[in-house]
Amino acid sequence: MSPRDFSVVICVYTEERWADILEAVASVRAQSLPAEEILLVVDHNPALLRRLAEEYGGCPEVRVLANAGPRGLSAGRNTGIAAARGAVVAFLDDDAVAEQDWLRHFDKGYDDPEVMAVGGRTLPSWASGRRPVWFPEEFDWVVGCTYLGLPSGTVRVRNVLGGNASFRRTAFDAAGGFATGIGRDGDKRPLGGEETELCIRLSRALPHAVLLIDDRAVIHHKVPGVRERFGYFRTRTYAEGLSKALVARSVGAGRGLESERRYTTRVLPAGVLRGARDFLLGRPGGAGRAGAVVTGVLAAAAGYAVGSVRVRRDGASFAVPAIEPAAGTREEVR
């Protein structure tokens, strides 16, 4: 089949990531299957908006847009979706670099007309040059990467991971956009879960929809030094529990926690045993990894408990917007 047209959305929010943003865009422009367009969506930062417009003013395939919704990653993605011209919308984090065949592998998945989303594999690029010895691979999702316990190859999944994912444009017509109020918002508490909520909602709207992960669609996600610290690990796992409480409120605990139950009862106990074995064998970091797994479970459980109480008390604080095609290009900067 002929390759599909891809719109690649990269959401950005701070000039501190200027070099990372340029690298991310360059990796998309170097794809073996060229994207129809790259949409840089700037989250309420006029200075960054102007600077990017100047940087890419001579590049017709790069469009610089202002986030048309509330502050945060979800609204930024929705702005990109609304402006997208391609049949498939792909998402790349602003601090990630895609391998050359990233879009080509995504494209192959859509040969099946029932496939509505294809995700890929995200590998960590540690600022220190190597994985901290205490950091368990089972928790690589803490730094936005593919974690030990996910199936390999090209497999059907409940949800793709938002920083390395693609969707048919029609998926958003059926299910709406990313829920605002769940995902990240600049430097606030590192919440997540918005892609899980969307994917479950999409499967409900289109019961025959197939969602895939193809681990050949690889990106490399930069992990800054602050995220290599145990304090961030603890904060992020707690925040994930808060997020899961919101997701469960939206889609029900059955679907919202289906994968998490398998992960908690099968993958994590094996991680603890592996860490304990390494400790007994005198291998570096074994005790730390076992302890980190236990801490991560307890922190996420605490976050979920607190989040559940808040949701019951205050109600859900997120909204699911319909995606309307952007009127003209009034949000675009040239």
Of 168, 171, 165, nearest in space to 213 by CA: 165
- For residue 55, give every residue at least 6 positions away whose Cβ sits within 8 Å of its Cβ, in sequence order, or none: 22
**CA-to-CA distance for 54 and 12, rounded, in angstroms?**
15
Q: Which two tokens stand for residue 142?
A: 């803490």
Average pLDDT value for residue range 201-209 = 94
Element (H, E) at 202: helix 194-205
pLDDT tens digits, 316-331: 556 677 887 765 433 4
Mean pLDDT over 294-315 rounds to 87
Average pLDDT, rounded, for the chain: 89
pLDDT at residue number 278: 86
pLDDT value, residue 252:
60
- Asked if residues 2 and 84 have their Cβ atoms less than 8 Å apart, the reply is no
Give the residue-averaged pLDDT of 151-163: 91
Give tens-digit pLDDT for 231-275: 999 999 999 888 888 777 666 655 546 667 777 877 888 888 888
Q: Residue 121's closest CA among 144, 142, 88?
A: 144
Q: What is the pLDDT of residue 165?
A: 97
Task: Characterize the bridge pairing of strands 154-156 and 210-223.
Answer: antiparallel
Biggest distance spanned by C-alpha atoms of the chain: 64
Instruction: Name the least confident of 105-109, 161-165, 181-185, 193-197.
Output: 181-185
How confident is the model at residue 226, as a pLDDT?
95
Burial class (CB in 10 A: 0-12, 13-18, 19+), 123: middle
Reported as type and span, the H/E element at residue 168 is: strand 164-168
Q: Is the pLDDT of residue 197 over 50?
A: yes
**pLDDT tens per residue across span 95-147:** 999 999 999 999 999 999 999 999 999 999 999 999 999 999 999 999 999 99
Q: Distance between CA atoms of 219 and 215, rounded to whole angstroms?
A: 10
Per the structure block, which two tokens stand in for 273?
């045993």
Q: What torsion do the CA atoms of 330, 15, 231, 163 make, to the nearest 10 degrees?
A: 50
pLDDT of 329: 39
Dihedral over alpha carbons 101, 111, 119, 252 (to 10 degrees): 180
pLDDT band at 192 (very low <50, low <70, confident <90, very high): low
pLDDT digits (tens, 9 = 90+) for 19-75: 999 999 999 999 999 999 999 999 999 999 999 999 999 999 999 999 999 999 999
Decide if pLDDT at 333 tops 80: no
Of 129, 236, 146, nearest to 189 (Cα)?
A: 236
Q: What is the pLDDT of residue 326?
A: 60
| E strand map for 13-57 | 37-42
